A and B are shown apart, each in its own frame.
Chain A
Amino acid sequence: MKLDSRLFPIRRAPLAASLLALLAAFACSSVDRTPATGSDPPSGPMTPLEASEAEDPPESGPSPSSSSGLTEDEILAIPPEVGSETDLLDIGAKSLEELNTEGHLKDVQFEYDSAQLSAAMRATLEENAAWLSRYPSVSILVEGHCDERGTVEYNLALGEERARAVRDYLRDLGVGSGRMRIISYGKEFPLDPGHNETAWRRNRRAHLEIVAK
Chain B
Amino acid sequence: MKPPRLPRLALGLLGAALATGVAAGFVPVTRIAGFAGSGSRAVEATSLGASAAENARQDAGDWYLDITRPGAPVRMAIPDFRLAPPEAAESGIRAGETDAASPEPLSDAGFTPAEEAAESASVASAVLWSDIEYAGVYRMLPKRFYRIAEAGSPDGVLDYYQWESIGADILVSGTLRIEGEMLVAEVRMHAVRAQENVFGRRYTAARGAARMLAHRIADDILQHAGNYQGVARTRIAFSTSRSGPRSKEIYLMDYDGHGQRPVTANGSLNMTPSWSPDGRALTYISYREGAPALYLAFLYQGRGEKLVGDFQSFTPAWSPDGRWIAFTSNRDGQSEIYLAAVDGTELRRLTDNRAIDVAPAWSPNGRTIAFTSDRTGAPQIYTMDRDGLNLRRVSFEGSWNDSPAWSPSRQHSEIAYASRIERRPFDIVVHDFETRQTRQLTTGRGSNESPSWAPNGLHIAFASNRAGDDQVFTMHRDGSNLKQLTREGSNTTPRWGNPPGNPR
Q: Which residues from B are CB-within-8-Å of A164? A: 330, 333-334
A188 at the interface (CB under 8 A from B): yes
A184 at the B interface (CB under 8 A): yes
Partner of A158, one of B287, B292, B312, B356: B356
* Interface check B425, CB cutoff 8 A: yes
| B338-390 at interface with A (beta carbon < 8 Å) | 356-359, 372, 374, 378-379
Q: Which residues of A contact B312 (CB under 8 A)?
A: 160, 182-184
CB pair B403 A151 closer than 8 Å: yes
**0/1 per residue, A150-187, Cβ < 8 Å to B?**
11111011101100100000000000000001111100
Check A152 against B356 for contact (C-beta < 8 Å): no
Contact bitstring B393-432, A, C-beta under 8 A = 1, else 0: 0000000101100000000000000100000011000000
Q: How far is the CA of A157 from the CA of B493 in the complex (A)?
A: 15
A154-B248 contact, Cβ under 8 Å, with A161-B335, A164-B334, A183-B312: no
How far apart sit A38 and B492, CA to CA, in the bound complex (Å)?
A: 52
Cβ of B449 < 8 Å from any Cβ of A? yes
Q: How far is the CA of A142 from the CA of B142 in the complex (A)?
A: 60
B272 is an interface residue with CB less than 8 A from chain A: yes
Partner pick for B425 among A149, A156, A189, CB 8 A cutoff: A149
> How far in angstroms is the closest Cβ of chain B from A65?
24
Chain B residues near A151 (CB-CB < 8 A): 379, 400, 402-403, 418, 426, 449-450
Please give me the residue from chain B that is nearest to A115 by CB atom: B356
A residues near B291, Cβ cutoff 8 Å: 181, 183
B 320-335 contacts with A by CB, 8 A: 328, 330, 333-335
Q: Is A113 an interface residue (CB 8 A)?
A: yes
Let me know if B292 and A183 touch, CB within 8 A: yes
In the complex, what residues of A have CB within 8 A of residue B292's CB?
A: 156, 183-184
Confirm or deny: B204 has a beta carbon within 8 angstroms of a beta carbon on chain A: no
With A161-B335, A183-B312 known as contacts, the answer to whether A152 contacts B425 (CB < 8 A) is no
In the bound complex, residues from chain A placing their C-beta under 8 Å from that of B269 are: 185, 188
B374 to chain A, nearest CB (A): 8
Contact A156 B492 (CB under 8 A): no
In the complex, are the beta carbons of A183 and B290 less than 8 A apart? yes
Contacting pair A153 B330 (CB below 8 A): no
Quote the shortest CB–CB distance from A144 to chain B (angstroms). 10
Flag if B290 contacts A157 (CB, 8 Å): no
> Interface size on A (CB < 8 Å)?
20
B263 on the interface (CB 8 Å rule)? Answer: no
The reply on B135 being an interface residue by CB < 8 A is no
Main secondary structure, interface of B, reads strand
**Distance, CA A129 to CA B447, complexed state (A):** 39
A41-79 interface mask toward B, CB cutoff 8 Å, 1 = contact, 0 = none? 000000000000000000000000000000000000000
Q: Is the CB of A152 within 8 A of B492?
A: yes
Distance A152 CA – B402 CA, assembled complex (angstroms): 9
- A contact residues around B374 at 8 Å (CB): 113, 154
- Bound Cα distance A185, B450 (Å): 17
Contacting pair A156 B330 (CB below 8 A):
no
Closest to A148 in B: B447
Assess whether B42 is interfacial by the CB under 8 Å rule: no
Known A151-B449, A153-B359: A160·B379 in contact at CB below 8 Å: no
Closest to B379 in A: A154
Tell whether A153 pairs with B450 under 8 Å between CB atoms, given A113-B378, A182-B312, A184-B312: yes
Nearest B residue (CB) for A153: B359
Question: Is B271 in the interface zone, CB < 8 Å from A?
Answer: yes
In whole angstroms, what is the CA distance A184 to B493 when docked?
17
Residues of B within 8 A of A149 (CB): 425, 447
Q: Does the CB pair A157–B314 fall under 8 Å?
A: yes
Instruction: Say yes or no: is B246 at the interface (Cβ < 8 Å to chain A).
Output: yes
In the assembled complex, B315 has its CB within 8 A of some CB on chain A? yes
- Measured CA separation A189–B292 after assembly (Å): 14
* A153 touching B248, Cβ below 8 Å: no
Inter-subunit contact B450/A152 (CB<8 Å): yes
The contact string, 1 if C-beta is below 8 Å from chain B, for chain A 115-152, is 00000000000000000000000000000000001111
Chain A residues lying within 8 Å of B493, measured Cβ to Cβ, are 152-153
Q: Given the complex of chains A and B, what is the CA–CA distance between A188 and B291 in angstroms?
A: 14
A160/B378 contact (C-beta < 8 A), A151-B450, A183-B292 known: no
The complex places the Cα of A153 from the Cα of B284 at a distance, in Å, of: 12
> B357's closest neighbor in chain A, by CB?
A157
Does A160 contact B449, Cβ atoms closer than 8 Å? no
Residue-wise, chain B 249-274 has the 8 Å CB interface mask toward A (1 for contact) of 00000000000000000000101100
Q: State in angstroms the CA–CA spacing of A9 and B372 once bound together.
A: 46
Interface residues of A in 93-131 (CB under 8 A from B): 113
Q: Given A113-B400, A164-B330, A189-B246, are A152 and B335 also a contact pair (CB < 8 Å)?
A: no
Task: Assess the A156–B358 pair: CB atoms within 8 A.
Answer: yes
Query: In the bound complex, how far is the Cα of B334 from the Cα of A39, in angstroms?
Result: 50
Nearest Cβ on chain A to B310's Cβ, whole angstroms? 11
Chain B residues with CB under 8 A of A184: 292, 312, 314
Nearest CB in chain B to that of A189: its residue: B246
Bound Cα distance A183, B493 (Å): 20
- Give Cα distance in the complex from A181 to B287, angstroms: 14
Determine how close the nearest CB of chain A comes to the CB of B321; give it in whole angstroms: 23
**Is the pair A154, B492 in contact by a Cβ cutoff of 8 Å?**
no
B271/A152 in contact, CB under 8 A: yes
Give the Cβ gap from B468 to chain A, nearest Cβ, in Å: 11
With known contacts A151-B403, A188-B269, A156–B315 Cβ distance under 8 A: yes
8 A-B contact pairs sorted by A residue (CB < 8 Å): A113-B378, A151-B402, A151-B403, A153-B272, A156-B292, A157-B335, A164-B334, A189-B246
In the A-B complex, the 9 residue pairs with the closest CB atoms:
A151-B402, A157-B358, A153-B359, A157-B335, A154-B402, A157-B356, A156-B314, A153-B403, A154-B379
- 19 additional contacts (CB under 8 A) given A152-B492, A154-B372: A113-B378, A113-B400, A149-B447, A151-B403, A152-B463, A153-B359, A153-B372, A153-B450, A154-B358, A156-B271, A156-B272, A156-B285, A156-B328, A156-B358, A160-B314, A164-B334, A183-B312, A188-B271, A189-B246
- Which residues of B are at the interface with A, using a C-beta cutoff of 8 A? 246, 248, 269, 271-272, 285, 287, 290-292, 312, 314-315, 328, 330, 333-335, 356-359, 372, 374, 378-379, 400, 402-403, 418, 425-426, 447, 449-450, 463, 492-493
